[in-house]
Amino acid sequence: MNVRQQAAPQAEEKQQKESRLSRFYAWAKPYSGRIIWILAGIITAVLFLTIGFWRTILIVILALIGYAIGVYKDNPMRFMRWLNILKRFS
């Protein structure tokens, strides 16, 4: 068996994997919010059961602070709009 004969099945297998992955992404895209929040809920539940309530709350607060910093770095105007919305509730 030469190199070309070995490369052909590998290339075909790689193409099939990419095809399956692209079909999964196409299926999951309309449900991305649900999938993300389900995963977040599962992770929070596991943390709650393993490390306790207050440590889980601390991790959630730190994650939200990290998210806010990321939003500010990506788009400061969006962050300011977000803060203005939060100010309306206080």
| Global confidence as pTM | 0.57
Q: Give the long-range contacts of residues 1-10, CB within 8 A, separation 24 or more.
A: none
The backbone region for 52, taken as left when phi is positive above 0, alpha when psi lies in -120 to 50, beta otherwise, is left
pLDDT digits (tens, 9 = 90+) for 32-89: 888 888 999 999 999 999 999 999 999 999 998 988 888 888 888 888 888 888 888 8
